[in-house]
Amino acid sequence: MRRAEVERSTKETAIRVAVNLDGTGQYRVATGIGFLDHMLEQLSRHSLIDIEVAAKGDLHIDFHHTTEDVGIALGEAVSKALGDRRGIARYGSAIIPMDETCTRVSLDASNRPYLVWKVVFSRPKLGEMDTELFKEWFQAFAQAAGLTLHVENMYGENNHHIIESCFKALARALRQAVEADPRAAGTVPSTKGVLGGSL
């Protein structure tokens, strides 16, 4: 089982994360931000990665620090569980519809982090959460997990559907990328023999 735990403590947040990449999509999430909890539950269920997140942050100020730091901690846990990334499929992509909305995610678990974010919201908040914070979460997660991550909402009207389709598409693409490839025989999926570093 590819498992990892990460604890992250700052003056702004205290976070504990555990993941099992070979899980069944079980989750236990408590960030203090209801909408973020809902999205992380979707990520777990549709990636089949077991995820535990317990976070306490300075929510009396705003949700920024907690959102970003949860992304960092979860990304670090995924990267730690992947180890040297031997035998993984490496690439994943998904196109996920949700009613009137459709979102495409492509990713490379290359250990060279990069985010392309083509998502626009028509409202400043979903529930109590600022919609601008979703890009912050995806940026933090991609950076810490070592993912080249492209997220594109192709069309949609409902803001809830837009961001939920982003998380579900990430989940399905991530599930593909971290799967063990039986034909790879435990080799690093790169002609360089290592993932990360320069192109």
Q: What is the CATH number of the domain that holds 89?
A: 3.30.230.40
Portion of the chain with pLDDT greater than 90, in percent: 87
Is 74 contained in some domain? Answer: yes
Q: For residue 107, what are the contacts with CB-CB under 8 A and spacing of at least 6?
A: 91, 92, 93, 147, 148, 149, 150, 170, 173, 174, 177
Domain count for the chain:
1
Is 193 contained in some domain? Answer: no
Task: Quick: pLDDT tens for 55-95.
Answer: 999 999 999 999 999 999 999 999 999 998 988 999 999 99
Is 190 contained in some domain? Answer: no
Is 14 contained in some domain? Answer: yes
CA distance 141 to 157: 25
Is 32 contained in some domain? Answer: yes
Residue environment code for 108-125, b if the CB has 16+ CB neighbours within 10 A, otherwise e: bbbbebebebebebeeee
Q: For residue 182, what are the contacts with CB-CB under 8 A and spacing of at least 6?
A: none
How much is the pTM?
A: 0.93
Is 184 contained in some domain? Answer: no
Is 199 contained in some domain? Answer: no
| pLDDT at 188 exceeding the cut of 50 | yes
Q: Which residue has the tokens 């949609």?
A: 156
Phi then psi for 194, rounded to 5 degrees? -155, 145
Is 104 contained in some domain? Answer: yes
Task: Quick: pLDDT tens for 13-61.
Answer: 999 999 999 999 999 999 999 999 999 999 999 999 999 999 999 999 9
Domain of 25 in residue numbering reads as 3-178
